[in-house]
Amino acid sequence: MIFNLESGETVNNKFLPISRADMEERGWDELDFIVVTADAYVDHHSFGTAIISRVLEKEGYKVGIIAQPNWKSTEDFMKLGKPRLGFLVNAGNMDSMVNHYSVSKRARDKDLYSPGGKMGYRPDRATIVYCNKIREAYKNIPIPQSTVVMGEVGLTGEVRRINLIEKRLKEAEKLGFKTCIIPENNKKSLKDEYKLDIIGVKNIGEALRKLGIK
């Protein structure tokens, strides 16, 4: 059960908020994080959105979900309001281009992560499209330019090592980043020297603290 801290009433909806009505049921005026995903919202640990959202919830953050928003306007991206700390954007369990096209570049006829397997609920290159719409919706919010974060989040919130870390770090240098947060296991294996302040983290909670998010 979930409790509305202001009214003391029990909230029967165990899913994370997807609307203003869900927020009001919990007595929330504002969310800490909003996860925007190209998949339908499925609250199961086989979906990355559910894992990250529940890990953040366990850390005490208020989290909402915007699933498969209409990318042709900013309306869906604004329906939960502006989050206190930030938007977390993903293309879903499968890369959006792989979701849409086969190896031979033929258009697929089913989207297994959308209701009824129907196509058309997500754009090509969904993460880029969504980030641009969020930027369009909230033009007055500055985006930090000096820090980049790399890693893969596991089932229990651990930050796992990723491939080609040296290549990624060199690219970050070229792009002008000053600080880079990476998996601790990747940092231990680095051989080259970089002009970046490289910070290793073991879990998502530690990553948030390093970013100054509490």
pLDDT tens figures, 106-159: 989 898 889 999 998 999 988 889 988 998 998 776 556 688 888 888 877 889
**Which tens digits make up the pLDDT trace of 44-64?**
888 989 988 998 998 899 999
Only one residue has tokens 């208020």, namely 62
- Taking the whole predicted model, whether its pTM rises above 0.75 is answered as no
CA 58/CA 79 separation, integer angstroms: 24
pLDDT tens-place string over residues 2-35: 444 455 555 555 899 999 999 999 999 999 999 9
Q: Percentage of residues in the chain with pLDDT exceeding 90?
A: 43
